[in-house]
């Protein structure tokens, strides 16, 4: 098969499997994107993990604990999907630790109050769902199938976050309502940045769309998130931190203000509020877990030797 035939193959909604022929660039793009997705899931555990011991009730603690554990599972699931492309996990994790691989900008912001946990579930997992529902139709089979399971769990993540916001905004006192508005102000724009640069400034989108890796553009998904979230914010009685936000009857969408791309680029470059803290935490967790990896590989080696000796 050549690239033109491959483009026609995926355009006909065929799935590409691990052992199929694929252009080198297709494989490279998928390894980059799936690895970064996996890194994002694992780093994403840190901001919320920070509140597990400080959750306001046992019920809230149990819900947050299960959400953070889900994210770990998503990361492992996605590292497995990346490994089907012939790359090994240690290489990917090392690239994260040395700053060669990216993870989502959104996880470089601090979680200042309990309302942040609500805003993260509602907005960050909300953006993730918009992006990942679209990825369920990505042309690479293992990635698209991983998305089906992950999207089911993300829906729970988004609902539990929104439930926290309802508790604060509809049943909370003035201070709790203020805490929710403050969290909304801090998480609204970074959640829109999750969808990546504008289409005009996205170097990967055109090729990813032709290969059906991406099924919608960054701006299309961002617009979908805005349109979905504004009514939810209005129900909560929250003010959207964007004076330019306005329903456009003609377009059938909300018009909204310009994203601060300087902030986005700085955070992606590693200059966000928590980038260093997040990477140091990941490197420490990796070092602290070395004994588990050594024990697991020693056990596997012993089992293999026993099987070889018995054969």
Interaction site with ligand 3HC (CB under 6 A): 32-33, 36-37, 40-41, 44, 71, 74, 102, 104-105, 124-125, 128, 131, 154, 193-197, 202-205, 208, 214, 218, 268
Comparing CB distances to ligand 3HC, the nearer of 113 and 217 is 217
Q: What is the end-to-end Cα distance of the chain in Å, rounded?
A: 41
Contacts of 119 (CB under 8 A, 6+ apart): 161, 165, 180, 183, 184, 186, 187
Comparing CB distances to ligand 3HC, the nearer of 40 and 144 is 40
Comparing CB distances to ligand 3HC, the nearer of 177 and 225 is 225
Count other Cβ atoms within 10 Å, centred on residue 229: 21
CB 169 within 8 A of CB 236: yes
What are 140's strand-pairing partners? 16
CB 180 within 8 A of CB 236: yes
Spatial distance between the Cα atoms of 151 and 147, rounded to a whole number of angstroms: 6
Comparing CB distances to ligand 3HC, the nearer of 185 and 202 is 202
According to DSSP, residue 257 is labeled P
Shortest Å, Cβ 218 to ligand 3HC: 5
Comparing CB distances to ligand 3HC, the nearer of 221 and 233 is 221
Shortest Å, Cβ 211 to ligand 3HC: 11
Shortest Å, Cβ 16 to ligand 3HC: 17
Burial 233-257 (b: 16+ CB within 10 A, else e): beebebebebeebeeeeeeeebebe
Shortest Å, Cβ 138 to ligand 3HC: 9
Shortest Å, Cβ 286 to ligand 3HC: 19
Shortest Å, Cβ 255 to ligand 3HC: 22
Spatial distance between the Cα atoms of 308 and 311, rounded to a whole number of angstroms: 5
Comparing CB distances to ligand 3HC, the nearer of 105 and 160 is 105
Q: Which helix (H) or strand (E) holds 248?
A: strand 246-248
């Amino acid at each position: 098969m050549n690239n033109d035939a491959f483009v026609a193959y995926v355009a006909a909604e065929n799935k590409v499997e691990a052992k199929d022929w694929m252009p080198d660039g297709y494989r490279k793009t998928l390894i980059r994107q799936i690895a970064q997705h996996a890194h994002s899931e694992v780093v994403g555990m840190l901001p919320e993990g920070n509140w597990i011991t400080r959750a306001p009730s046992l019920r809230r603690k149990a819900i947050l604990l299960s959400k953070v554990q889900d994210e770990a599972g998503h990361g492992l699931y996605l590292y497995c999907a990346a490994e089907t492309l012939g790359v090994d996990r240690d290489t990917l994790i090392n690239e994260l630790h040395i700053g060669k691989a990216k993870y989502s900008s959104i996880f470089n912001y601090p979680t200042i109050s309990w309302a942040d946990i609500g805003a993260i579930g509602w907005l960050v997992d909300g953006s993730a769902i918009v992006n990942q529902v679209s990825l369920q139709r990505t042309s690479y089979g293992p990635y698209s199938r991983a998305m089906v399971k992950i999207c089911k769990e993300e829906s729970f993540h988004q609902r539990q976050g929104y439930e926290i916001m309802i508790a604060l905004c509809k049943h909370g006192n003035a201070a709790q309502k203020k805490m929710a508005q403050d969290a909304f102000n801090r998480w609204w724009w970074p959640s829109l940045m999750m969808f990546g640069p504008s289409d005009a400034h996205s170097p990967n989108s055109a090729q990813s769309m032709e290969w059906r890796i991406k099924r919608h553009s960054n701006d299309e998904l961002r617009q979908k998130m805005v349109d979905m979230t504004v009514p939810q914010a209005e129900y909560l009685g929250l003010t959207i931190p964007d004076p330019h936000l306005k329903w456009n009857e003609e377009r059938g969408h909300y018009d909204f203000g310009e994203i601060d791309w300087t902030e986005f680029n700085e955070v992606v470059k590693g200059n966000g509020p928590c980038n260093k803290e997040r990477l140091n935490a990941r490197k420490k967790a990796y070092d602290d877990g070395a004994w588990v990896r050594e024990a697991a590989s020693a056990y596997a080696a012993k089992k293999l030797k026993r099987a070889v000796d018995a054969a």
